[in-house]
Structure 1
Amino acid sequence: MARFGDGLIFAAAVAAIIWWLWRRFRHWLHEPPSSRLRRLARDGAPDAEDEGAALLLEHGYEALSGKHRIPLGVSVDDGPYEATRLYFDYVAAKEERYYLVKLERPRQPMDWTASGIRERLLAYALLFPECEGIIVADLRGRTIRTVKFRIEEGKE
């Protein structure tokens, strides 16, 4: 037969777990939208000699962290999920606004048409809607361009 003290300890433990779960839920509920991006930004600052970070600094941006890999799973026709990754080079900030940064590669030049930009960069904008935009940095030309997306109203 269980003693009264055992039930009291069990009830206190259950109450503590429920209280902890409630606090975690409230914290998640009231978390600002940019917190996921801010956690990424704290992953580690790029090296001082990093050419991409230096280019961003020249244009008034601060490179907060570098070389990010987002793991994804892809399934076709209810088949098994296959692992793939989405890469971007930096998280940068300017005037309390956050940007994802992609370096333009010589072997994969950017197609600067609307459809080319959509195909290459829309996934990043959808994964991080709290970003102000996506910066495409050209190290050879020492230029940066900012890309933003918006949903247009109108007929299809």
Structure 2
Amino acid sequence: MAQFGDWIVFLVAVGLLLWWIWRRFDNWLHAPPGYRIRKLAKAGGVEPDETVDLLEENGYEVLSGKHRIPLAVSIDEGPLQPTRLFFDYLAVKEDKYYLVKLDKSRMPLEWTASGLRERLLVYALLFPECEGIIVADPKDRLVRTVRFKVEDENG
């Protein structure tokens, strides 16, 4: 008789586990667009500086700053090697989200289509819900917005 009771406990535990997995999957599936961005916005604080002032002068509200995205790279099925991807701020304007990168003198951006693609496309692909990537240069007081659009080869 003890075996019958063990099976009931086991089946109830498995049922609860399956129900919990289904709920998590359903919540993930029906998460509203931009959920990851809103989660990032709540994650980091903003310390006032000249870049935040520049963005606010241009109508942006800076939500958070200094984000690090952990990544891992594997070469030829070798061990995973950790790396990181950084962006400086997350801003919003007219209910549209923007990632902000600083144009730094030690690694200046090449303002050509291929140069921008090489340096910024990864951000657009990681966060497709963002309207664009803002490149801010507090030294020259410039704010530029970069957007990527996949074009049809025939068009």
* Structure 1 stretches lacking a partner, 5+ long: none
- Please give the alpha-carbon distance, in whole angstroms, between the structure 2 residues aligned to 1:26 and 1:106: 46
Which residue does 1:34 correspond to in 2?
Answer: 34
> Does residue 24 of structure 2 align to residue 24 of structure 1?
yes
Query: TM-score normalised to the size of structure 2?
Result: 0.90
Which residue does 1:71 correspond to in 2?
Answer: 70
Distance 1:75 1:15, change over 3 A: closer
> Does residue 92 of structure 2 align to residue 93 of structure 1?
yes
Task: List aligned pairs for 1:2-151, cutoff 5 A.
Answer: 2=2, 7-47=7-47, 49-151=48-150
The letter for the 2-side match of 1:42 is K
- Please give the alpha-carbon distance, in whole angstroms, between the structure 2 residues aligned to 1:34 and 1:92: 13
- Please give the alpha-carbon distance, in whole angstroms, between the structure 2 residues aligned to 1:63 and 1:145: 15
- Shifted more, 18-27 versus 5-14: the winner is 5-14
- Please give the alpha-carbon distance, in whole angstroms, between the structure 2 residues aligned to 1:19 and 1:82: 35
> Following TM superposition, by how much is the alpha carbon of 1:81 offset from its aligned partner in structure 2, in angstroms?
2.2
Computed over aligned residues only, the root mean square deviation of the Cα atoms, in angstroms, reads 1.7
Q: Secondary structure at the match of 1:78?
A: coil
Contact 2:44–2:67, Cα closer than 8 Å, also in 1: no
* Structure 2 stretches lacking a partner, 5+ long: none
Q: Deviations over 1:115-134 (max 9, x none)?
A: 11111101111111111100
Q: Deviations over 1:99-125 (max 9, x none)?
A: 100011011111111111111101111
